[in-house]
Structure 1
Amino acid sequence: MTTRLNPYISFRDNAREALEFYHGVFGGDLSMSTFAEFQMSDDPADADKIMHGQLEAANGLTLMAADTPSSMEAVDSSNITISLSGEDETELRGYWDKLSDGGNVTMPLDMAPWGDHFGQLTDRFGVAWMVNIAGQGGGQGDQGGQSS
């Protein structure tokens, strides 16, 4: 199995709604399991909450999420931003438009000093995103950290 790195987002009581939203953004296959399905909670209030959800988009994007059980403290994720970057302007602008629906655009998707189109937003679930669309210069500002 190939080693992968992908976001795993924790929610408080709305992971199902968030995963369904991201499924609408990215498409692909969505699977969700509740705490009750695996007998993983003593609190009946947690039974229908998502213990593990995984979205596998056809283009290889993977996003995982879960609800934080009521017995645990919900951790503030304001120190994490998910970055989407690449050259397919139509695809990336489509993600931008869907993610920003109901969210807060903190930096409009516009031409950046490095020649790419770049923007930042916080979606309706409080998750921060950056989108970078490589410009004619070959993506010198690509937030993915790739080098030649």
Structure 2
Amino acid sequence: MTFYQGVFGGTLTLNEYGAFGSETPPGYGDKVMHGLLEAPNGFVLMGADVPPGMEHQPGNNFAVSLSGDEADALRGYWEKLSDGGTVSVSLEKQMWGDTFGMCTDRFGISWMVNISGTKEA
């Protein structure tokens, strides 16, 4: 989550298992349960770790999408998210008129970034 704070800015709150009382699994008191990033532009990104007893199964079963018309901000996010990751679709103008790209960040999370095209009269 600190990586995403570096991408989006904002205030990061991390909650450890131990903060929730006596139901803390052994050995998990100081491990992060979930994090909440509140970005300066008003959006919130929340992440949760796989809880004890559940198997971690990384995969490509989801992607996070960022969309909007603030081209400079979205291009900046794209640069930071794709740095050290893999670009599968370059961020460029697409046939539907928007600028769009897909990447997988350095932690294996897939991202889609869409910058709305300008409307012509």
TM-score, normalised relative to structure 2? 0.89
Q: Which residue pairs with 2:38 in the alignment? A: 56
Following TM superposition, where does structure 1 have runs of at least 4 consecutive aligned residues deviating by more than 6 angstroms? none
Q: Does 1:118 align with 2:118?
A: no
* 2:64 alignment partner AA: I
What residue is the counterpart of 1:27 in the other structure? 9
Give the letter aligned to residue 112 of structure 1.
Answer: Q
- Mapped to 2, the partners of 1:134 and 1:87 lie a distance apart of 5
Distance of 2:33 and 2:98 partners within structure 1: 38
Show the 5 A alignment for 1:21-100: 21-39=3-21, 40-44=23-27, 46-76=28-58, 78-100=60-82
Deviation, 1:69, is 2.9
Distance 2:40 2:117 in 1: 24
Contact kept in structure 2, 1:49 and 1:67, CA below 8 Å: no
Q: Which amino acid aligns with 2:24?
A: S
Question: Unpaired runs of 5+ in structure 2?
Answer: none
Partner letter of residue 77 of structure 2?
Y
> Is the Cα–Cα contact under 8 Å of residues 25 and 52 in structure 2 kept in the other structure?
no
Number of residues of Structure 1 aligned to a counterpart in Structure 2: 119
Question: Structure 1: where are the runs of 5+ without partners?
Answer: 1-18, 139-148
Write the distance in 2 (CA, Å) between the matches of 1:90 and 1:67: 31
- Secondary structure at 2:103 match in 1: strand
**Which letter maps to 1:64?**
M
Across the aligned residues of Structure 1 and Structure 2, the Cα RMSD in angstroms comes to 1.6
Identity of aligned residues (%): 50
| TM-score, L = length of structure 1 | 0.74
